[in-house]
Structure 1
Amino acid sequence: AAKLVGKQTAYRQKIQNCTQSLLDNFLAVVNAAQISTKEEDDVGENTQIAKEQYEVEIKTHNIVRAAETLICIISELKEKYLFSDFDTLNKNVENANTAYDDCRNESEDALADLQREIAAHLDAIETSFYTARLT
């Protein structure tokens, strides 16, 4: 149980970190897109634009990386849910197999009893038939 709680905490922490990264980087992209009202010379303005473009590229890359991490976490959780459910499914199949085996054994026992009973009756009939013919 403690192991499961530790895994849940780790997943929650990863999800929190990724969503925070998405939010922070998105806000940084939006802030970089704001139009500056400062009047600068052409060289300074071009440098500032290049710097902002580079920052936006980095932030969008960070957004994509955080989104991919979240997708991987979701995929992992789905797999864990599916595969952990196989234990229950296997138990149910085992229980059904046991029930069918019990039913088969009971049927085989009943058939064996019926076979012995029929054989005994046939012996009795055969004996009475031959004794009746001889007399």
Structure 2
Amino acid sequence: MRHARGYRRLNRTHEHRKALFANMCGSLIEHEQIKTTLPKAKELRPIIEKMITLAKRGDLHARRQAASQLKQDKYVAKLFDILGPRYKERQGGYIRIMKAGFRYGDMAPMAIIEFVERDTSAKGAGDKARVEAELNAAD
């Protein structure tokens, strides 16, 4: 029987799993679409949906709760300034998981996890801005 087996352990300690999902939440908030393994994507969905629900509330307590789980303040800012208002009228289901075949090295099932109604220009925007700033600094 499966009593008290509420989540996938993903062969990691509690601290490692907590850090993994904090980093994955940040990456998903920043890029609005990431590619990962299917079990990780399925475990990330309830975590990020709770973050969006906090962002929809938008008060100081919700902001501090989100900041305690996310690693950087820029993710909290984007979550509350952009994503919260975007999904204000939506009653859940902010995340879409699409199967993306199998990884070449170990045949792990892969998935693309993304926000519903995502901004397609957000993917890679931070990296493009960083490269542009480096080129301008070199000149």
TM-score scaled by length of structure 2 = 0.22
- Which structure features the higher share of strand residues? 2
- Which structure features the higher share of helix residues? 1
Greater Rg over alpha carbons, structure: 1
